[in-house]
Every structure is written in structure tokens, then in C-alpha cells.
Amino acid sequence: FSCNGRADRIFGFFIFYCRDSHKIILFRFMRLATRLMINALRCQQIRFVFVGTSTAILYFGCFIVLMKIGFTAVLAALVAYILSFFVGYTAQKQFAFQATSRHGTSLPRYASLQLLCALIAMASSGFSEMLGVDNVYTIGSVSTIVSACISYIISSKWVFK
């Protein structure tokens, strides 16, 4: 597909005329997406979710790579978690919360919070099963949402203050 170089701008849209007479409308997507992302990243909650999601993806990727190169599942999970823990801590402290607290204060608090969140995830998963929920996606979603909400509240009020 190639265009003949003729383009019109109508109401902020770019319309390119192509050899096959089809019009292709391209929104000023990159500019709009950049604006939206910059505005969204001004919000602490969005930065928190972004860092948390990125850290989860990092954990998953590390786990898979370590398994592929021959680590046992337990060792792969441990190494991936340790790496993700420190990357997550640094990103939450410096990017999400933009905290100025000392590492000697915030790192032990963050470690305690992560332990608490693991226990909360276990408890909420067990509670969901006790209520008769048998869909793994529902159980996982409940434990993720509950622990993420508690993590955000405690991080913003205690860990990174």
C-alpha cells in the first residue's frame, strides 16, 4: 500500500489519498496518546498501577526465562521475586510516590508490606474458596484487587512517607 503524497487535514484528522482511491484516516494518535499518558502519569494512583503491572510482567518474564534455562520452579520463582521486589521498590519509591524517605526507613517497611500483602492474598483466596467460588480467575482477581488496594493505602500513608 502506498500513497501518492496528497494529504488533507480536516477537523484535526489527516486524510491520505492512496492509489486505490481508499481514504485512510489517521488520527493524531501519537500526539493524543502522549498527552493522555503525560496527564495520566501525573496521578499517583495511575503511576502505582503502572509500576505494579510492570513489576508483575517483569516477574513473569524472569520466571519463564529462568525456567527455560534450567532452573527449578522454586528457584526460578525465588530469583524472579527477589529481582522484581527490588525493581518494584525502587520504581514505587522514585517514580510512583516520588518519595524522599531514606532507604533505611522505607525498604524495611516495603518488605513488611509485601509480606502483609502476600498473607492478605492468601487469606482472600482462601475466603473466596470458602464462599464457594471455584473460578480461578475470580479468585485471582479478588486477591489481586484486595491486596493492591491495601498495598496502595499503606504505601502512600506509611511506607514512602
Tens of pLDDT, residues 108-120: 999 999 999 989 9
More confident residue, 40 or 43: 43
Question: Among 35-44, 92-101, 128-137, 145-154, which is the least confidently predicted range?
Answer: 35-44
Query: CA angle, 156 as apex, 152 and 158 as ends, to 5°?
Result: 115
Quick check: pTM over 0.85?
no
Q: Which three cell numbers stand for residue 115?
A: 509480606
Q: Residues 23-35: pLDDT tens digits?
A: 444 444 556 666 7
pLDDT level of residue 74 (50, 70, 90 thresholds): confident
Q: What is the DSSP string of 82-103?
A: HHHHHHHHHHIIIIIS-----H
Q: How confident is the model at residue 48 (pLDDT cuts 50, 70, 90)?
A: very high
End-to-end CA distance of the chain: 55
pLDDT of 22 higher than 70: no
